[in-house]
Each structure stands twice: as C-alpha cells, then as structure tokens.
C-alpha cells in the first residue's frame, strides 16, 4: 500500500486552545466554581450577542437542554412529539421521561435529516411538538417546519446538537442562525462537536414566554436567579426542575474555545472542503455519496460522512479503513427499531432512516487532522 | 471593636490542590474528555476501594444521582416517598419528576436530620422509599431506618450529599461509611462540599440488582457500557435515561482532590474543633446551640452551624456577622412550606423543621479558614 499511514488516525481528538486551564484557575481564584459564575455569564453573553439568541442557559449536556425544553413546553403523559428516527437517543428520551409518545419521521432522500414533507401526515390532535434535528449541522427546511407549527399550534424544539455556527436561509432570503428559529433549541459541546467542554450543552429560549421559567427549572426548581437579581428576598422551591447548570470549570473551558470560534471554524471548513474535493472522483467511481448541503443551509463543517451503496459495502469499507489505521465509525441506528421501542412501534416502515443506519460512515474529523494523508490512503484502498 | 477582621471572610472558598489543571491537560492529551474516561475510572475505583461501595457512578450533580435513584427504584405516579422537610429541594424534586407524592417528616429535637421515630407513622400502602438525609455529614440512625425498610419492604436512598468520609456506628458496633447502607446513595461534590469539582456528584449502588440498569440509565438509556465490555456488538436505546455522566474534565478535577482527601479532612476537622471549643462559652451565654453529634455518628467536619434561640436572634446575629465582614448564611426553608408545595401539603405541622429554618446559621467553613480570627471576632460582637 502506497500511502500507509504511519501513525493511526483516531476518529476524534479534542481540541485544546491552551487557555482552558488558565481560565479554570482564574475561576477558582474568583472563589466560585459552581454553576452560574463568571465564565458561565461570559458564554451566555457571547452566544446572545453573536447569534441574537433571546436567552441562553448553559447546561451539563445537550440531553439536559432537551429535557428542559420538554419541561418548559409542559409535556404530559400521552402528548405526541414528532422526532426523526435517525437521531441520537436523547432527542426522543428527553420527551419520553415526561411521558410523551414518540412519533417517528423518516429521513430525506438526499440527506439524513427529517423529511419535512412527511411531518404533516404524522400530526394528530395529541401532537404537541416537532423536534427537527439539524443533522451534521445542516439545516432542516425551517420554513416548512414553522409553517406546520403555526398551522397546528405546535411547539418547535430545534435539536441543534451539531449545528453551532450554521445558518438557515429562509424563503425571505434572510440568513438565520440555527437554534434561533424554533421556540426552544438545544446545542451540544460534547468532545466530538466543533466547540467543546468534554460534556456540555446549552438551551436557547427564543420565545419570551419561557424565559423566567427556564431560569427556575435550570436552578433545581428554585427562584435563585430572581433572588440574586433582588426580585425576592429568599429563594425556595417553586417548580419542578433539576441541576441543569454546569460548573464554572466547564464554562471556563468552553470560554477558551469560544475565543477561538472563528479559527476553529475556518480550520474545520478547510478540512471539509479538502475531504470533499479529494474524495469526489473516488466516491463516484464506487457509488458512494458525499454529504449534500441544500441551498437553504450553510455548512458548519461539523462532520464528513460517506453514504455507501449498501450495508455490505459499508461494513467492508469500515473494516478496510480500520485496518489501515483510519478510525471511521457508523452512526445512528433507527430509533424506531431500537430494543427500547421494539414492541411499541406501530407506524409505517421508515426506509430512509434504515438506509442511513446501514450505509453511513463518519470519517475522522478534528482540528489539524492530516486530511491529505487520510484522503490519499482512502483513495488507494482496494475496496472492490 | 477589638478584633475587627481586616479582610472579609467569605462563606466558602473552593480549595485547589494545584494538580487539577495538570490532570485536565492530561485528560486532553489522552484524547478523551467526555464522560467515562480515564479519570472517571480512577475516581470510581478510589471510592469503591476506600469505602467498599459495590458500584460507583460519577454524576453531574447530587441531584442527578437522586434522579437516577428515582428511576432505578421505578417510582411511578402516586408512589409515596418519605423525605425530611428540612433538606435541599433536590431531595424531593428528583422523586417529584417521576410522579412521586412527597410525604414530609420532621427533624430531630437535637439535630436537623430526620426524626427516625416519626417515620413509621408516615408509612402507607403506597410508600415506596425513605430518603434519610445525613445533614451536616452527621448520620441518621440507620439501624432504625433499615429496620423499617425491611419491615415494610421499602427502598432506602441515602441523601449523602454532605456525608463524604463520615460513618455510622450500628447497634452491632460496626462502623460503616455513610452511603454504604441504603440500597442506593447520592453524594455531592458541589464547591461547598469537602471534596469538590464545582458541580458534581455520585451515585452509589449497594444493591446488586441495580448495577446493570444503573450503567444503562447513566449513559442516556443505552447499553454503551456493555458494548465497551464486548457484551454486545452494537449499542442502542434500551431504556429511559439521561446524560448523567460528567466529563472527564470534571473527573480529573475531582481526582486531584481525592488524592488529598486525608489532608483536607484533617484540616477541616481541626477547624471544626477550634470553632467548637472557641464558641462553647459564648454560645451557652447567649442560649445558642452548637452542633450535636450522636454517639452513632462520626463527624466529617462538613460544616459548622449555630442554632439560635429564635428567629429574631438569628436575623440579628446574621446582620452583625455580615457587618463585621463574616459572611454567614441561613440554610434550608421547610420544603412543606415552599411555594411549590404550598397548596399540596396536608400533613401535620412540622415544628422542628420550621424551627431550624428560622434559627440555624452556617458560619464560614473552608480549608485554611483563619478560624481563630473569626472566633475572636464573633465572641466580642455585641449581640444583646
């Protein structure tokens, strides 16, 4: 093999700007490393200013942000929530924890994201919310989703776990940040995301009606935020809630990353473009599809994936990659076919979701990846 | 005033051993800063070995550990859970989130912890669990609690938020670590605790039956742990759950603290003893009670508190302390009188819980506190 990779290429390498631990030390010296401290506030301000989010609350995970959303829209047992089947378990689990019945939607033909044209057929009198997932940071067609929400009086919770710094271009030509369109949105800062804090996430509240209650639910169901603003003279238990807020250690780590957001994004976009141009001919020759970005979406270079022609080719390719030291991975398994949902799913077959479950491969993607090296290795693999 | 304190004494100062950020950098260099990494494993092993806990899982908070416990004992709407009213909101909220009805117990005469002799009268056919809270790290009388659990077939979830490195001496004379006695236990590593990671906690599973499911619930309801142990070839959605696991950044911080556990405890115990002997005469003169440690409990020096003779004295003392630069605070407000519970509480009046709500003061307590200085300031305050 001509371009044997000397050192193995992991799937992910967490990026470290170098300032994270300085800020953590600073948080300690400020005397506060629990939640809602100095660095938490810096992160909140950053996101609210940069993306025009009405209200931001850092959370311990994107899962936590989705759980906050489920509480805020007051999910009750029996309420239905429409979720793509091709997504991470938390997209559904957060609503199941509040008693929701999950109604699964299929993926698009051209992209693993939810097929917006299939949503209306799934709406019933019990539907309370739609949860579009911006897979790979690629926007769902939010005009279609929001029109349905308006028509049927539903809430929209954007699962923007992978979608930081990505945008939707609406029918009106306006470019809006993902996460700013639905009533509520959830982001992830898990170590595999563009901006990281190991585990971590954030809730975005775009609908003013939810702002005050979000602060309460975030602080274990207490009115502690109001207390510190001087609005009440003691704080106590006023609502359900959890300890959704991360430590200021986590926020300090995140803040160091946010300072480098533009550099990180530019490095990732270059890697993405190099992957795309370098693999184009090879992919076409082998009937492998590269990522599709619709006209209504920007690309935040969250991941690079391949869609194989079938499961056999996918498994063979994964084996070849891993043998050559390139740690590629498959992604989601259709949730409607999960062990948990097995006996409960009574809907239509969701063939595209199953197709992506069987054929999609994520290739290594991280800051300073030796992408040329990876590409030259991939294109010389004997996969036929 | 003779001993005016030059610099203000905060209520808490997070302790930093100096190694926390080295370990965080090491976690990054290992290529994994999400949950269940190298440092998480070190912390798990430490606790299991040192305290003989059957199974430990770090969590993002003690609240999260309590929520895991509520899921594990399968709380269903209408199940009753007995909780002291004098506790933090999460002791109750974690069970309310699963639909439980909270039944509040009063405090002991000699200590703010649950009055073990009042529990049996609160048990009904719907009771599913008792949640004793080891207030200030002081043990509840666990023989009494466990006997009731055996007699009525109930689960015991120890809220050991404040109880790290504290012990219960049973009727058999055996000294057992708090958190090792109930079916499940929850600890906190919030910045105000003895051992800290800003926010953070851990679930202890003492009942073997819960071990496998705890691992699933911890990992968002997936069988990812089994996957990494090679027990299954793909992992997917098998149960409800959440992202309860903290990042390895948080675990790395905690690990640095655990290495110094003995030093931390010895420093804190010295501060506690100095407070006790230094305030004894002053307290007696002013009808103020100092902390009581029953014979069946050790003292982990989590906090030092004063019980004033009435609310008027408490408020006056707090004002005097704060004016002199000593930042003392009151503690819990009876949960059965909270805004959230206001219309729902139909039980007996809980006078001791209300009494501690009105009279208890926590004084500054942290590693290297200038305790002699604080004491000499307190005893010369004009409070009559």
This complex has an ipTM of 0.96
Q: What residue spans in chain A does CATH classification 3.90.1150.10 cover?
A: 261-379
Average pLDDT rounded to a whole number, residues B68-77: 98
Residue A147 · residue A176 · CB < 8 Å? no
Residue B383 has what pLDDT? Answer: 77
Size of interface A-B (CB pairs under 8 A): 194
What is the overall mean pLDDT for chain B?
Answer: 96
Identify the pLDDT of residue B5. Answer: 54
Which residue, B22, B173, B157, B14, is CA-closest to B90?
A: B157
Measured between beta carbons, the chain B residues lying within 8 angstroms of A61 are 60, 242-243
Element at A168 (helix H, strand E): strand A167-169
Which residue has tokens 């742990």? Answer: B225
Using CA atoms, how far apart are residues A165 and A96, in angstroms rounded to an integer?
29
Q: How many angstroms separate the CA atoms of B188 and B193, rounded? A: 7
pLDDT at residue A88 is higher than 90: yes
Q: Which residue has the tokens 């076409």?
A: A284
Handedness of CA A78, B221, B247, A363 (dihedral sign): negative
CB atoms under 10 Å from CB of A296, counted, come to: 18
Chain B nearest C-alpha distance from A120 (Å): 26
pLDDT at A364 exceeding the cut of 50: yes
Structure tokens at B350: 């809980």
The band of B2, judged by pLDDT with boundaries at 50, 70 and 90, is very low
Cα(B162)–Cα(B303) distance, integer angstroms: 9
Q: B261 in helix, strand or coil?
A: helix
- Put simply, the chain B residues between 110 and 139 with a CB less than 8 A from any chain A CB are none
pLDDT digits (tens, 9 = 90+) for A200-228: 999 999 999 999 999 999 999 999 988 88
Q: Residues 321 to 350 of A: which have CB under 8 A from any B CB? A: 333, 335, 338-341
- Report the number of secondary-structure helices (H) and strands (E) in chain B: 12, 12
Dist CA B255 CA B202 (whole Å): 13
Spatial separation of the C-alpha atoms in residues A372 and B316, rounded to whole Å: 71
Strands B127-130, B80-84: pairing kind? parallel
Residues of A whose CB is below 8 A from B246: 60, 199
pLDDT-above-70 percentage for chain A: 98
**pLDDT at A293 (0 to 100):** 98
Q: Helices (H), strands (E): how many in chain A?
A: 12, 12
Confidence grade of residue A238 (pLDDT, cut at 50, 70, 90):
very high
In B36-65, the residues whose Cβ lies within 8 Å of chain A are: 60-64
Binary contact (A89, B191; C-beta < 8 A): no
A130: left (phi over 0), alpha (psi -120 to 50) or beta: beta
Strand partners, B130: B82, B156
Size of chain B, expressed as the number of residues it contains: 384
Structure confidence at residue B359 (pLDDT): 98
Averaged pLDDT score across all residues of chain A: 96
Q: Record the pTM.
A: 0.97
Contact B14 A33 (CB under 8 A): yes
CATH number of A20-258, picked from 3.40.50.300, 3.40.640.10, 3.30.70.600, 3.30.70.580: 3.40.640.10
Number of other CB atoms surrounding residue A49 within 10 Å: 10
Best to test chain B binding among A202, A236, A240 (most B CBs inside 10 Å): A236
**What is the nearest CA distance from A238 to chain B, expressed in angstroms?**
4
Q: Cα Rg for chain B, rounded, in angstroms?
A: 21
Q: Give the whole-angstrom CA distance, residue A44 versus residue A51.
A: 11
pLDDT score for A226? 87
| Minimal CA separation from B236 to chain A, in Å | 6
Q: How close A300 gets to chain B, by Cα (Å)?
A: 22
Query: Maximum CA pair distance of chain A?
Result: 72
The yes-or-no verdict on residue A1 having pLDDT over 60 is: no
Contacts of B27 in chain A (CB under 8 A): 198
Between A14, A32, A239, which is nearest B28 by CB?
A14
First and final C-alpha spacing in chain A: 15
**Whether pLDDT at B262 is above 80:** yes
Averaged pLDDT, B127-145: 98
Half-sphere exposure of B377 (CA within 13 A, CB side): 23
Q: Looking at residue A6, what is its pLDDT?
A: 59
Polymer length of chain A: 384
Given a cut of 50, is residue B1 above it in pLDDT? no
- At A37-57, the pLDDT tens digits run 999 999 999 999 999 999 999
Enter the CATH code of domain A261-379: 3.90.1150.10
Q: Measured on CA atoms in the order A338, A339, A341, A344, is the torsion positive or negative?
A: positive
What would the two tokens of residue B64 be? 């999260």
What is the spatial distance between Cα A166 and Cα A137, in angstroms, rounded to a whole number? 6
For residue B233, what pLDDT is reported?
A: 81
Instruction: Quick: pLDDT tens for B156-202.
Output: 999 999 999 999 999 999 999 999 999 999 999 999 999 999 999 99
Angstrom distance (rounded) from CA A22 to CA A172:
44
Buried b or exposed e, range B323-339, using 16+ CB within 10 angstroms: ebebebbbbbbbbbbbb
Residue B225's pLDDT band (cuts 50, 70, 90): confident
CATH 3.40.640.10 positions along chain A are: 20-258
- Residue in B60, B62, B97 closest to A240 by CB: B97
B233 touches A at CB < 8 Å: no
Decide if A314 contacts A330 (C-beta within 8 A). Answer: yes
* β-strand pairing of B329-330 with B360-362: antiparallel
End-to-end CA distance of chain B: 15
Query: Mean per-residue pLDDT for B129-148?
Result: 98
Average pLDDT on B301-327 reads 96
B81 in helix, strand or coil? strand
Tell me the two tokens of residue B279.
């305030």
Query: Can you tell me the mean pLDDT for A121-130?
Result: 98
DSSP A3: T
* Paired strand residues for B329: B362
């Amino acid at each position: 093999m001509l371009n044997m990779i000397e050192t193995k290429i992991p799937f992910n390498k967490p990026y470290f700007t170098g300032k994270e631990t300085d800020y953590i030390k600073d948080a300690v010296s400020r005397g506060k490393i629990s939640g809602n401290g100095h660095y938490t506030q810096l992160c909140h301000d950053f996101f609210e200013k940069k993306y025009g989010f009405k209200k931001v609350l850092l959370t311990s995970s994107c899962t936590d942000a989705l759980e906050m959303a489920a509480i805020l829209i007051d999910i009750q047992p029996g309420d239905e929530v429409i979720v793509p089947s091709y997504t991470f378990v938390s997209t559904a689990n957060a609503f199941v924890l509040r008693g929701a019945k999950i109604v699964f939607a299929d993926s698009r033909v051209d992209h693993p994201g939810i097929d917006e044209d299939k949503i209306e057929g799934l709406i019933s009198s019990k539907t309370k919310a739609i949860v579009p997932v911006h897979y790979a940071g690629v926007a769902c067609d939010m005009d279609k989703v929001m029109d349905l929400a308006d028509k049927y009086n539903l809430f929209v919770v954007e699962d923007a776990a992978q979608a930081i710094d990505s945008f939707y271009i609406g029918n009106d030509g306006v470019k809006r940040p993902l996460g700013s369109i639905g009533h509520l949105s959830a982001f992830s800062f898990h170590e595999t995301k563009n901006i990281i804090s190991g585990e971590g996430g954030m809730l975005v509240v775009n609908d003013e009606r939810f702002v005050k209650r979000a602060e309460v639910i975030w602080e274990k169901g207490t009115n502690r935020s109001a207390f510190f603003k001087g609005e009440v003279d003691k704080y106590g238990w006023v609502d359900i809630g959890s300890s959704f807020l991360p430590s200021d250690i986590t926020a300090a780590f995140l803040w160091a990353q946010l300072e480098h957001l533009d550099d990180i994004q530019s490095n990732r976009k270059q890697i993405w473009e190099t992957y795309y141009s370098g693999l184009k001919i090879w992919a076409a020759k082998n009937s492998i599809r590269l990522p599709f970005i619709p006209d209504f979406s920007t690309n935040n270079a969250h991941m690079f994936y391949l869609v194989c022609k079938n499961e056999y080719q996918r498994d063979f390719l994964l084996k070849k990659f891993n043998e050559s030291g390139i740690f590629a991975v498959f992604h989601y398994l259709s949730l409607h076919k999960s062990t948990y949902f097995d006996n409960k799913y009574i809907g239509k077959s969701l063939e595209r979701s199953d197709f992506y479950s069987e054929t999609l491969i994520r290739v290594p993607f991280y800051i300073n990846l030796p992408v040329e090296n990876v590409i030259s290795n991939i294109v010389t693999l004997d996969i036929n």
